[in-house]
Amino acid sequence: MALGVMALILVLSVMNGFDREIKNRLLRVVPHITVARAQGFDGDEIATLRPQIMADSNVRAVVPMVQSFAMLSHEAEQSGVMLQGVDPQWETLGPLREHMISGFLEQLQPGTFGVVLGSQVARRLNVFVGDRVQITMPEVTVTPVGIFPRVKALRVTGIFEVGAQVDSSVAFVHQQDVRNLLRLGNNFQGLQIQLHNAYAADHWVADVGETVLPGLVWRSWTGSMGTLFQAMRMEKVVVSLLLSVIIAVAAFNIVASLVLMVADKRRDIAVVRTMGATSSLVMRIFVVQGMAVGTMGIAIGTALGCLLAYFIGDVVGLIERVAGIYLFDPSVYLISALPSRILLADVALVVGSAFMISFLATLYPAWRAGQVLPAEALRYDH
């Protein structure tokens, strides 16, 4: 029981740590909230709306939005990306600069048609800074000779690596060049909003966004990245169920030990029954006995699990130093220590489930003990 509870708390804490790490990295690059409309927004509208939105204390920045799906190709390799228009002067790009592994974001200048790629996209296309890639837009050009896809040559000016999904799905181009590619003129498709507390994005949209700009298409990062986080939640549930088997095995051990105890103590049970003990009293005695064993294991497992989860990064670091190997190479996993986050709700769920399983495991042996008949048990006793 102690081993099962400890393993479950430790694994859930590590998975929570990875979940927080991925979310924090994504939220430093992706917009927290976007709002769009079919006809777009011109510069004057954005200048009017920006102070209204910035009036909210949770809003950190508001910038125009221009983006489109596109396909990048280089020689025989292709990769689909979300093309996002940015401006190196925007304050929202500060975190992206910290994740540049080659080139500079400032090299994105209007009219140069430069592009900053995620590390996974660059690796897939086999390109580096200075190489040229061809972009194919999801629109066509109609000419008297026929219909042709809209393509443009871009020069790779930088490569970034966040260590999350955006590395394989996003490319940044100067917003003016993207508007030219999409033929938007002076319009933008919408607005991107960065919050101080990104986890309040859904509440902000419901409470503030719909009031400032009602009837428009609002999206938060939880919706745009919903598939990723849903997969992570499902993975957490599946791992929890698999590790719960250890607790179930411990519960079977409680059942077996109590059944053997009932068989061994039949004479004592019969004596107690002849002295006036009721069947329910005998059952309660064995339930308390089984729960005492289960509670001790749960308490030890909870203490060890929380302690190990808190110091798991130091433990892994010690193992790496002693063994002389890297279990998590920073150049591969982009982390220098194993992340861990202990959530009280997870600990309470594990402990509560273990208590429930322990209690259920005591019911059958206790019932068997309560059914012992004094006359039958003492018949052959000499």
Same domain (yes/no): 206, 346: no
Within-domain flag for 24: no
Within-domain flag for 73: yes
Query: 321 exposed, middle or buried (CB, 10 Å; 0-12, 13-18, 19+)?
Result: exposed
- The per-residue pLDDT string of the chain (382 residues; one tens digit each, 9 = 90 and over) reads 888 889 889 988 888 888 888 777 777 778 888 888 777 788 788 888 888 888 888 888 888 888 888 888 988 888 888 888 888 888 777 778 888 888 888 888 888 888 999 888 888 888 998 889 998 887 766 666 666 677 888 999 999 888 777 788 889 998 888 888 888 888 888 888 888 888 888 888 888 877 777 777 888 887 777 677 777 788 888 888 888 888 888 888 888 888 888 777 777 777 777 777 788 888 888 888 888 888 998 999 999 999 999 988 888 878 878 887 776 665 555 566 778 889 998 899 889 988 998 888 888 888 887 777 666 656 655 5
Within-domain flag for 87: yes
Same domain (yes/no): 282, 135: no
CB-based contact 4:361 (threshold 8 Å): no
Last residue of a domain, one of 224, 249, 284: 224
Same domain (yes/no): 80, 162: yes
Q: State pTM to two decimals.
A: 0.71
Last residue of a domain, one of 201, 224, 247: 224
- Residue 224 tokens read as 């745009």
Same domain (yes/no): 90, 153: yes
Q: Measured between alpha carbons, how far is 239 from 19 in angstroms, rounded to an integer?
A: 14
Same domain (yes/no): 112, 197: no
Q: DSSP for 123-150, please give it.
A: HHHT--TT-EEEEEEEEEEEETTEEEEE
Same domain (yes/no): 370, 248: yes
| Structural domain boundaries enclosing 167 | 68-179
Number of domains, the chain:
3
Same domain (yes/no): 173, 203: no
Last residue of a domain, one of 224, 254, 286: 224
CATH code of the domain in which 50 resides: 3.30.70
Within-domain flag for 36: yes
Within-domain flag for 365: yes
CB-based contact 131:73 (threshold 8 Å): no
Same domain (yes/no): 217, 123: no
Same domain (yes/no): 151, 85: yes
Three-state secondary structure readout of 191-209: EEEEECCHHHHHHHHHHHH
Within-domain flag for 26: no
Within-domain flag for 25: no
In sequence order, what are the residues at sequence separation of 6 or more whose Cβ sits closer than 8 angstroms to the Cβ of residue 127? 74, 117, 133, 156
Same domain (yes/no): 77, 62: no
Same domain (yes/no): 261, 193: no
Within-domain flag for 128: yes
Same domain (yes/no): 42, 143: no
CB-based contact 274:307 (threshold 8 Å): no
